[in-house]
Amino acid sequence: MRPTFSIIFFTVMSGAGYGLWILMALASLLIWPERPPGNGMAEVAWPNLLPCGLAAGFLLVSCGLVSSLGHLGQPQRAWRALSQWRTSWLSREGIAAILTYLPVIGIGSAIFHDGRMPVDAMTGGDPLAALWMSSEMRTVASILLLAGSVATILCTANIYACLKPVRAWHNRHVVAGYLLIGIYSGALVAWALAALPQGQIVDLRVLPVLVAVFAFATALLKHRYWRFIDHDPASSTADATGLGSLGNVRSFEQPHTQENYLTHEMGFRLARKHSRKLRTICLIAGFALPALLALLGLAWPSLSAPAAWLALIGGMSGIFVERWLFFAEAKHTVMLYYGARNAD
């Protein structure tokens, strides 16, 4: 399949954004469940990790979604894509993506309001009563954010996983891969944000640990995925045309002398030629390097900031290569009519 920049950029960026939102939602639920007594503002004050993470996720998700419109032939009609959620994963993805903005906007505006509240406003009376965001509201909004982000990533993955004619997509590794890579890239961004000079982080050694664990898990999954797609069941022009019972079938003449839409869109071969090298680059830059840097950051906390940003750059480059390969290596059944063959 021809790798299209708009789709690769969309899936990588919005994947990272939703992964980041998943972590922010979890952090908001698990790490900061209670307000520290007497210090109501510290946790929500800019530039703490939660508002930073929500804002960065907003940016990543929005850039990704805008980029996905670039793939459309009639982008001004994109709103129509929200109508067929009963059957279409693409439609479900659009709806999930829009709904997930709601808890983010809710939490974000509450943080903005509460964080700007002058301290003396809280000295008289009950300070917590003046805040927009109660613990209950935070819990509900965080659960909605978590559910929306996971649902959107699952919808994105299922757009590809439901396509039977593309074996490299129609398998059980794909959905798990999108979710793992989403959370992994979210962890990379979160760690880099936490390492910012002003990042008021309580104790976020959990982020490099997450990076290392998810790097390992994702690399393992990708390895298994690549082994799966490298062993195509044999299929050929004979199977596609149904002429196999008569003899050996060979494409003798194609319908047109020029490349057409089908061969252009689904006959991309270059990636498979260089797949070994690209997979190695992806594994080293995307997973091994960030994992090592995470361990380095854990061992020497003073090196944490440069390690986190290097890990982000390396990891995201590797994930871009991974996503490019995900599209570019995939074979489409229709190419069997054009003489392609898959051998075991």
Partner 1 sequence: MTGLPPPAARKLGLVIDLDTCVGCHACAVACKEWNEGGAFGPLPDQDPYGAEPHGVWFNRVHTYEVQGFGPSSAGSACKLAASAPSQGAPTHPESRPSTGERPVIPDPANAMSVHFPRSCLHCETPACVTVCPTGASYKRAEDGIVLVDEDKCIGCQLCAWACPYGAREFSAKRGVMQKCTLCVDRIYNETLDEADRQPACVMACPTRARHFGDLGDPQSKVSELVAERGGYALMPELGYKPVNRYLPPRPRRAGGTKPETRPAAEPIDTAQMSPLLRWVDRVLSR
Query: Which residues are at the interface with partner 1 (CB under 8 A)?
Result: 1, 71-75, 77-78, 80-84, 86-91, 94, 159, 162-166, 234, 236-256, 258-262, 265-266, 332-334, 337-338, 341, 343
**Closer residue to partner 1 in complex, CB, 92/222:** 92
Element of type H or E holding 184: helix 172-194
> Long-range contacts made by residues 161-166, C-beta under 8 angstroms, separation at least 24?
162/89, 165/332, 165/333, 165/334, 166/1, 166/330, 166/331, 166/332, 166/333
Q: Smallest distance from the beta carbon of 269 to partner 1, in angstroms?
A: 17
Q: Smallest distance from the beta carbon of 247 to partner 1, in angstroms?
A: 4
Q: Smallest distance from the beta carbon of 327 to partner 1, in angstroms?
A: 10
Q: Smallest distance from the beta carbon of 341 to partner 1, in angstroms?
A: 4
**Closer residue to partner 1 in complex, CB, 139/254:** 254
**Closer residue to partner 1 in complex, CB, 223/250:** 250
**Closer residue to partner 1 in complex, CB, 287/324:** 324
Q: Smallest distance from the beta carbon of 99 to partner 1, in angstroms?
A: 16
**Closer residue to partner 1 in complex, CB, 238/284:** 238
Residue that is written with structure tokens 């909004």 in the block = 141
Q: Smallest distance from the beta carbon of 164 to partner 1, in angstroms?
A: 6
Helices 49-69 and 172-194 meet at what angle, rounded to 10? 130
**Closer residue to partner 1 in complex, CB, 92/173:** 92
Q: What is the secondary structure of 31-98 as a DSSP string? A: ISSSPPTT-TTTTTSTTBHHHHHHHHHHHHHHHHHHHHHTT-SSGGGGGGGGS-TTT-HHHHHHHHHH
Q: How far is CA 240 from CA 27, 162, 232, 263, 342, in A?
A: 51, 20, 15, 16, 12
**Closer residue to partner 1 in complex, CB, 172/205:** 172
Q: Smallest distance from the beta carbon of 29 to partner 1, in angstroms?
A: 32
- CA–CA gap between residue 13 and residue 186 (Å, rounded): 10
**Closer residue to partner 1 in complex, CB, 122/239:** 239
**Closer residue to partner 1 in complex, CB, 256/277:** 256
309 neighbors 192 (Cβ within 8 angstroms): yes
Bond from prior residue into 47 cis (ω within 30 degrees of 0): yes
Closest CA to 196 of 90, 63, 304: 304
Q: Smallest distance from the beta carbon of 340 to partner 1, in angstroms?
A: 10
Sign of torsion over alpha carbons 187, 190, 195, 201:
negative
- CA–CA gap between residue 27 and residue 21 (Å, rounded): 10
24 neighbors 53 (Cβ within 8 angstroms): yes
272 neighbors 226 (Cβ within 8 angstroms): no
Q: Smallest distance from the beta carbon of 309 to partner 1, in angstroms?
A: 35
